[in-house]
A = this chain, B = another copy of it.
């Protein structure tokens, strides 16, 4: 049995000690005021704990966890620099907020330049550590400049029931310390943007359906009306997922080089395509459920044959009216296109799951994400054009241009058109040459 020393007796120190004891380690807590820190006897695991001074704690253990806030490190640890020499020091600290510059762990390594500082356990909360009833990720990221220390701590991590993830040299502690501070950073832009698009389409739909002329009753606002801006947003966002790669190509052609950096907005856009795509998928998913719920001749007049029953003034014989709700070819064809598009989206979404995507090689992944992706966009366009074209033909260009079906198709059309251009042998060869290297 190995002995682990913990400096500090706070929230994290207690939880960590508890977990260590349960896994069969010996623990020594080092406190400023060891006598004041009463040990509760109510909890089973506290019987074998010993609370001593920091000095004692360091002397009696080769692996030491620093569980005090980093602002107190200098005061607390400076006297023991010599004593800590060649020992493994585990830094569990977190920053309060995102800052640039060296990580806590690097600062600690500087302070204790002859110790083997290892960054670990900062991503685990004290609550998680203690209550074995809570879920969440069980990864612990490890960084250290010393290979052996890293492996020793990895073994410790495993013994405590977590999964070690080796992050290499201590420099990477910068990344590790960033982790617990983030809250979906890469989702902010796509969700904000989606919201904006949704609002705009919603207002337009309300204008068309309620302001301009009253097509629907306000009762229909929840599903029937909401469904419209929803699917338009899904469609727009899907187009936005596949647009930036063409814009990037335009930039590269314009600069004649791949070594010129993209402007910030394009870079962000390119980076958040995964999130945009998943958002489009989610909206399409909701659209599918909503559409299925309202699938009836009342809600979708033009998708079905006439359902009216006409009773003549003079009834000369018994009349039989079977209630008929056949779809027209337009309804069925639009459904089919929609279904296949949705299936494609599902497959795209499934391959976004890391453990599925990791089974695919680069060619396979691009075949699904890029080829199938554009296929889905095309099919969605068919879905909308089939729906809209009879009206477009009837209504003439002016009305067509203002129609929801047409407006929502503009961006996808542009996206597909650009993609087509960049697939032409001439242009694609040129782009390839630029992407290949030296100007």
Name the interface residues of A278-292: CB closer than 8 Å to any CB of B: 282, 285-286, 288-290, 292
Could you say which residues of chain B place their CB within 8 Å of the CB of A354?
355-356, 358-359
Stretch of A72-80, A85-93, A96-104, A362-370 with 4 or more beta carbons under 8 angstroms from chain B: A362-370
Q: Chain B's nearest CB lies how many Å from the CB of A439?
A: 6
Copies in the complex: 3
Choose among B221, B257, B282, B317 the residue that contacts A42 (Cβ–Cβ < 8 A).
B257
Stretch of A195-203, A318-326, A399-407, A409-417 with 4 or more beta carbons under 8 angstroms from chain B: A318-326
With A259-B43, A312-B318, A318-B313 already in contact, the answer to whether A223 and B136 are too (CB < 8 A) is no
Choose among B169, B308, B369 the residue that contacts A322 (Cβ–Cβ < 8 A).
B308
A14 interface residue (CB < 8 Å to B): yes
Name the interface residues of A335-383: CB closer than 8 Å to any CB of B: 335-336, 339-340, 342-343, 346, 353-367, 369
Could you say which residues of chain B place their CB within 8 Å of the CB of A298?
323-326
Contact A14 B323 (CB under 8 A): no
A215 interface residue (CB < 8 Å to B): no
A437 interface residue (CB < 8 Å to B): yes
Stretch of A105-113, A175-183, A387-395 with 4 or more beta carbons under 8 angstroms from chain B: A175-183
Contact B315 A10 (CB under 8 A): no
Contact B321 A221 (CB under 8 A): no
A332 interface residue (CB < 8 Å to B): yes
Choose among B290, B313, B333 the residue that contacts A317 (Cβ–Cβ < 8 A).
B313
A329 interface residue (CB < 8 Å to B): yes
A214 interface residue (CB < 8 Å to B): no
With A and B bound together, what is the CA distance between A366 and B183 in angstroms? 10
A311 interface residue (CB < 8 Å to B): yes
Stretch of A53-61, A267-275, A418-426 with 4 or more beta carbons under 8 angstroms from chain B: A267-275
A125 interface residue (CB < 8 Å to B): yes
Could you say which residues of chain B place their CB within 8 Å of the CB of A130?
258
A219 interface residue (CB < 8 Å to B): yes
Contact A361 B436 (CB under 8 A): no
Could you say which residues of chain B place their CB within 8 Å of the CB of A385?
none
Q: Chain B's nearest CB lies how many Å from the CB of A228?
A: 14
Contact B362 A137 (CB under 8 A): yes
With A and B bound together, what is the CA distance between A168 and B286 in angstroms? 46
A327 interface residue (CB < 8 Å to B): yes
Choose among B166, B183, B333 the residue that contacts A367 (Cβ–Cβ < 8 A).
B183
With A221-B332, A282-B343 already in contact, the answer to whether A293 and B290 are too (CB < 8 A) is no
With A and B bound together, what is the CA distance between A82 and B16 in angstroms? 42
Could you say which residues of chain B place their CB within 8 Å of the CB of A35?
none
With A and B bound together, what is the CA distance between A353 and B363 in angstroms? 20
Contact B312 A222 (CB under 8 A): no
With A and B bound together, what is the CA distance between A77 and B354 in angstroms? 39
Could you say which residues of chain B place their CB within 8 Å of the CB of A9?
438
Contact A167 B171 (CB under 8 A): no
What sequence of 0s and 1s flags, for each residue 236-255 of chain A, a beta carbon within 8 Å of any chain B beta carbon?
A: 00000000000000000001
A123 interface residue (CB < 8 Å to B): yes
Could you list 16 examples of A-B contacts with CB < 8 Å? A42-B259, A123-B362, A159-B172, A183-B367, A219-B326, A220-B332, A224-B332, A282-B343, A286-B340, A288-B289, A292-B295, A298-B324, A308-B321, A310-B318, A311-B318, A312-B318
Given contact pairs A135-B274, A323-B323, A353-B353, a sample of 20 additional A-B residue pairs in the complex whose CB atoms are under 8 Å apart: A24-B171, A42-B259, A132-B271, A137-B361, A137-B362, A138-B358, A139-B358, A159-B169, A182-B361, A223-B332, A224-B332, A297-B323, A297-B325, A307-B322, A308-B323, A309-B321, A311-B311, A312-B318, A354-B356, A355-B355
Q: Top 6 nearest A-B pairs by Cβ distance? A: A43-B259, A222-B332, A133-B270, A355-B355, A311-B319, A222-B336
A interface residues, Cβ below 8 angstroms from B: 9-11, 14, 24, 37-38, 40, 42-44, 46, 123-125, 127-128, 130-139, 155, 158-159, 166-169, 171-172, 179-184, 217-224, 226, 255, 257-261, 267, 270-271, 273-274, 282, 285-286, 288-290, 292-299, 307-329, 332-333, 335-336, 339-340, 342-343, 346, 353-367, 369, 435-439
